[in-house]
Amino acid sequence: MITYLDAIRSAMDEALGRDPRVFLYGQDIGAFGGAFKATKGLATKYPGRVMDAPLSEDAIVGIAIGAAIEGMRPIVEMQFADFSTCGFNQIVNHAATLFYRTEVPCPIVVRLPSGGGPGGGPFHSQSMEGLYAQYPGLVVMTPGTVEDAYSMLLDAVTLDDPVIFCEHKFLYNHLRAEELPKETTPIGKARIVRHGRDVTVATYSAMVHESLAAADELREDGYQVEVVDLRTVKPLDTDTVLASVARTGRLLCVSESFPWGGVSAEVIARVTSEGFGLLDAPPQRLSAKDTPVPYHPNLWSSHRPTANAIASALRRLLEM
């Protein structure tokens, strides 16, 4: 069985193996294999190409940009997504603007171990896709399955544009698959992971699984819930969501990030402005609460949307 984390490691392994321009840079990713062991064994297998960085997020991203300008394809690991705030400037003001300003592309991948878990607390639990997606020039991927973790990371490395790769820590070891995919879904396309005719849930990353569980729950009430995994949140595949809403007439957006703005608001804005007539009920959203992510497991599990909470939201929406 291959875990989501294994898939990420395999993708990097393969990328290193097939393209000499690829190298990895980040804190503790060398001999140690990284805080989550995503790079375990790679430093030995690819000597000199998996490098420990000083405790300097701004320099880590800056170095990746410089190397990319010179034709390399760096993959950098932030130890936790939350620490990317210290490299924020280089990401949003340098990587994101380089191509538009100079015609030189910036093929870097910034891996962000994202999302919460019990005991993670305010600084090791954040979901930052909704921040990075606001910046023109960045591609923001949010894989929610083992297969996507693998194939999207491989895609990310081949793209000429900077990719913010939001991988979910909670899925690292929880999610397993039989094998790695041979074929990949096209870049930037959403995927319907469960078909249903009554209501559409648009979601991504770990919330795909909470939503699927909620869909199971609702099947017992006789409802068929369609679940769309957005996969990439910038660019956003509005068409797939619209097509789903055209069938169901109802939309719930679920995200683990803070409630103001972010992916849910963007999806709703697009669907209502482009597909208003498709909706039979007001579009709804469910996000985390408007506080920092709390440390205590009891608080944490109430802070983020759960299958139960999604099921309740769906029931309310289905009655509207």
Partner 1 sequence: MSSDRGKETATRTEYLKAYRVMLTARVLEEKLSSLYRAGHIKGGVFLGRGQEALSVSVGINLRKGDIYAPLIRDQAGRMAFGDTALDTLRTYLGSQLGSMRGRDGNIHRGRPREGYYAMISHLGAMIPVVTGALMARRFRGESGVVGATCIGDGGTSTGAFHEGLNAAAVEKLPLVMVVANNQYAYSTPNDRQYACADLLDKAIGYGVAGHEVDGTDLGACLEVLGKAVAAARSGGGPQLVVGRLLRLVGHGEHDDASYVDPALKAAHVGRDCLKVAEEFIVASGWATPEEIGSWRVEAKSEIDVTAAKVLREPAPDPNEEEWTAVSDTRLQDNFAA
Ligand X SMILES: Cc1ncc(C[n+]2csc(CCOP(=O)(O)OP(=O)(O)O)c2C)c(N)n1
Q: How far is 136 from 173, CA to CA, in rounded Å?
A: 33
139, interface contact from ligand X, a copy of itself, partner 1, none, CB < 5-8 Å by kind:
partner 1
Q: How far is the CB of 234 from partner 1 (least distance, A)?
A: 6
Residues 102-141 that bind a copy of itself (CB under 8 A): 122-123, 130-131, 133-137
- Only one of the segments 85-93, 202-210, 212-220, 249-257 lies at the binding site for partner 1 (rule: CB under 8 A); that segment is 85-93
DSSP lists the bridge partners of residue 203 as 229
Closest CA to 171 of 202, 200, 207: 207
Q: How far is the CB of 72 from partner 1 (least distance, A)?
A: 5
Residue 121 vs 181, nearer CB to a copy of itself: 121
Q: How far is the CB of 76 from partner 1 (least distance, A)?
A: 10
Q: Are 87 and 81 in contact (CB under 8 A)?
A: no
Q: How far is the CB of 55 from ligand X (least distance, A)?
A: 5
Q: Which of 79, 203, 255, 284 binds a copy of itself (CB under 8 A)?
A: 284
Q: Is 124 a catalytic residue?
A: yes
Spell out, one character per residue from 66 to 85, where the chain touches a copy of itself: x when CB under 8 A holds, - when not: ----------------x--x
127, interface contact from ligand X, a copy of itself, partner 1, none, CB < 5-8 Å by kind:
none
Count CB atoms within 10 A of the CB of residue 45.
Answer: 12
DSSP lists the bridge partners of residue 113 as 167
Q: Are 113 and 154 in contact (CB under 8 A)?
A: no
Residues that contact a copy of itself, how many (by CB under 8 A): 49
Sites of contact with a copy of itself (CB under 8 A): 82, 85-86, 88-89, 92-93, 96-97, 100-101, 122-123, 130-131, 133-137, 234, 236, 257-258, 260-266, 268-269, 272-277, 279, 281-285, 289-292
